[in-house]
Amino acid sequence: MAGPVPLRVWYVSFYLLSALVVAVTGYLVATRSEGHHRRTFVAYTMVECLWLGFATAKLLVAAPAAKYLFALLTDMLALVSVVAVGYFATVYTNRSPSPREPHNALVLGWLGIAIFGIVTQPVLGLNYAVISYPQDPFPYFAIEPGPIYLLSSAMAATVLLVGITYLGRLFSRSTHRPTGSVLLLVVTLTVSYFPNLVTTLRTVPVLPGYDYSAFGIVPATVVLAYTVYFRGELDLAPMARKAVVEEIDDALVGLDDAGRVIDYNAAAGALFPADVSSPVGEPLADLLPELAAKVPLPDAEHSDVSATYSTVIDGERTHYAVSVSALTERDTVAGYTLVLRDVTDVEASKRELERQNEQLESFASTVAHDLRNPIQVADGNSALLVGQLDGTDRPGDAAAVDHLKRVNDAIGRIDDRLSELETLAKHAQSVTEVEPVAFEAAVRDAWAETETGEMTLQVPVDGSITAERSRLDSVIEQLVSYSILRDGTQVRAELTESGFVYEDDGRPIPESDRKAIFESDVTTATETVGLGFEIVRTQVNAQGWEMAVEATERGMAFVVTGATTSRDTELVTGPERGEQP
C-alpha cells in the first residue's frame, strides 16, 4: 500500500495547478475582444505564471545556490506582480499612470529600492536578514525578512489597497449593478495578501521561514477577472460613468468601446425594450437598432455625431435630438456618451410654424392672383381711355387724361405691392439650407436683373458668403432698386469679415427714418418705401443676419453682419473689378 503523498509533491502540484488556472484565466480574458484594457490584464497573468514557475523550480532544485537564485527571482516577480495590479487598476479607472503623479512616483521609488535590495542581497543582505536551508520534511529555502523585505510587504499592501479603492469607487458610481462585487473584490484581494503577511510574521508552523506569497495568486487573479470581465460589473469606459447623471432630464447612455450599454440614467430607461431585464452589457444595435443606425460611433479623430430620432413612449410619439461623443484616453477610444434631448415640443412648434407659413404663402398667392385680374382690367381700360382722350380738343379732356394717368400709376403701385406681398410670404420662413456663394457673382447677377440705367457698380473684394442664394439675390436686387429710387449714380458692394456693406451715393436718408424704413409700407421724409425693405429685413433675419443703415462719406451704407464669409486676401482693383455700368 502506498504511503502518504510527500508534502513537497503537494506544494509542487499546487503551484502547477495554480499556473494552469492563471494561464487559462488570461486566455479567456484575451479572447474577449470587447474587454476594456484586457491586454494589460493578460500581461499581468503572464507575470503571475512566471512567478509560479520560479516558485516551483525553487522547490525542485537541490543545490542551495540554485534555490537562492530562484528565491531572488520569485521576489522580483512578486514586486512586478504587485505593480501590475496597481497599474491595471489605475488605467482601467482612467487615472493617469504618469510618473509625474506623486503617488505613482512613490510606487516607482519603492520599486527601485526593492529591486536594489534584491540585486544587492548577496552583498548587503538587506532583503533577507537570515538565510537557511532546512532539510525536514524536505530541503527548502527559508528566510527571516530584512528591512527591504518588510518595506516591500508594507508597500504591496498599500498598492493593493489603492487598487481596491480605485475599482470600488468606479463600481459604486453605477446605479445598475449589485454592491456585492465591491465586497467580493475587497475580500479576495485581502485574502490574496494574507500568505505574504504570514510569511513576514513567520506564524506558520509548517515549513518555518518558507515564502508562501505565491499561494495568493490564484484567488486574486480569478476573482479580479471574473468581476471585471465576465460578470460585467466593471467592464466599462470609466469616464462614461462620470458623465451619466441620474437626475438630469436628458436621456444619457454610456457605451463601451464596442458599443455596448454600460450605464444609463432614469430618463434613458424608458427607451429600452420592456422585455429586456437589464440593458447593461447589450449592444446598442440590438436594443435600439433604429437609433444605432442614425448615429454611427465616431472615432478618436472626429467630433461629435448628431442626428434626430423619434420613437413611441407610453403611446405617444417622442422626438429626440441625439449627440454621441467619443471618450478617449491617449488618443484611443475608451467608450462613448450618448445624449438624447427631448425636442418633442420644439418639433411640434416647428411643424405648426411650417403649416402657418404654407398657409400664409398660399393666402398671399391667392390674394395676388384674385386681385390681378380686376387690376389688369382697370389698367387696360384706363389706358384705352387715355388713348381715346389724349390729343382731343374738347374741354376737360386734358384734365381727364391727367387723372387717368394717376390712376394708372396707382394701379402700378398696387401691382408692385402684390408682387412684394408674394415675395414676403414666400421668404418669411427661416433658412434651412445654405451654401458658400461667390459674392461678386451674386452681386453682378442681381445687378443685371435690374434696370440700373447709368449707375455704376464696384465690387472691390471678392470671396464667398454662406447664404441661401435666392434670398441673397433678392436682398441685393431690393437694395439696387432703392438706390435707383434715391437717384444714386454709384454703388459699391464689399464683402466684410462678418457680412457685406452695400453703399451708394443716392439721396441721404434722414437719421430719424433709418429704422423706420424696415417697417411695412412706411412713408419717410424722402419717399414711400412700401414693402421693399420689409422684404429685405425678413430675408436678412431669416438667414440669422442683422442689417443697419449708416451714413458714410460717399452717401448711405446698408451694413449686413452676422454672416459667415471667406474673403480673398488681396484687395483687387482694375478693369476686372472696376466700374460696371
Q: For residues 281-320, b (16+ Cβ closer than 10 Å) or e, as one string?
A: ebbbeebbeebbebbebbeeeeeebeeebeeeeeeeebbb
533 and 516 Cβ atoms separated by less than 8 Å: no
| pLDDT at residue 393, as a whole number | 66
DSSP structural state of residue 577:
G
DSSP structural state of residue 36:
T
Nearest to 447 by CA among 479, 487, 494, 495: 479
User: Rounded distance, CA 577 to CA 501, Å?
Assistant: 16
| pLDDT at residue 528, as a whole number | 46
Q: 500 has which bridge partners?
A: 495, 560
Helices 147-172 and 180-201: crossing angle, nearest 10°?
Answer: 180
- Write the CA distances from 325 to 271, 308, 336, 338, 536, integer angstroms: 19, 15, 6, 7, 40
Q: Which three cell numbers, joined as nine digits, stand for 473? A: 439675390
Contacts of 494 (CB under 8 A, 6+ apart): 459, 460, 461, 500, 501, 503
Helices 7-30 and 38-60: crossing angle, nearest 10°?
Answer: 160
| pLDDT at residue 323, as a whole number | 85
pTM (2 d.p.): 0.46
User: Taking the chain, what is the end-to-end CA distance rounded to the nearest angstrom?
Assistant: 122
Q: 560 has which bridge partners?
A: 500, 547
User: Rounded distance, CA 530 to CA 533, Å?
Assistant: 7
| pLDDT at residue 22, as a whole number | 92
| pLDDT at residue 540, as a whole number | 85
The side-by-side arrangement of strands in the sheet containing 556-561 is 456-458, 490-496, 499-504, 556-561, 546-551
- Classified as helix, coil or strand, 145 is strand
User: Rounded distance, CA 356 to CA 369, Å?
Assistant: 20
| CATH class of segment(s) 347-426 | mainly alpha
User: Rounded distance, CA 10 to CA 516, Å?
Assistant: 101
| CATH class of segment(s) 238-342 | alpha beta
319 and 310 Cβ atoms separated by less than 8 Å: yes
Q: What is the architecture, at CATH level 2, of domain 7-230?
A: Up-down Bundle (1.20)
| Three-state secondary structure string covering 165-198 | HHHHHHHHCCCCCCCHHHHHHHHHHHHHHHHHHH
Nearest to 92 by CA among 189, 242, 230, 236: 236
Q: Which three cell numbers, joined as nine digits, stand for 458? A: 464696384
> Dihedral of CA 286/291/292/298: which sign?
negative
504 and 556 Cβ atoms separated by less than 8 Å: yes
Domain boundaries, the chain: 7-230, 238-342, 347-426, 435-577
Nearest to 278 by CA among 363, 207, 174: 174
| pLDDT at residue 233, as a whole number | 47
Q: Which residue positions in the chain have pLDDT lower than 50?
A: 1-3, 233-244, 520-530, 570-578
373 and 411 Cβ atoms separated by less than 8 Å: no
Nearest to 544 by CA among 424, 428, 431: 431
Amino acid at 273: P
530 and 424 Cβ atoms separated by less than 8 Å: no
Task: For 215-241, write each residue's pLDDT tens digit.
Answer: 888 888 888 888 777 765 444 444 444
| pLDDT at residue 232, as a whole number | 53
Amino acid at 168: G
User: Rounded distance, CA 255 to CA 281, Å?
Assistant: 9
237 and 327 Cβ atoms separated by less than 8 Å: yes
> CB burial class (10 A; 0-12, 13-18, 19+) of residue 581?
exposed
User: Rounded distance, CA 241 to CA 263, Å?
Assistant: 7
Q: Is 496 left (phi over 0), alpha (psi -120 to 50) or beta?
A: beta
466 and 437 Cβ atoms separated by less than 8 Å: yes
| pLDDT at residue 427, as a whole number | 53
Q: What is the CATH number of domain 435-577?
A: 3.30.565.10
Amino acid at 97: P
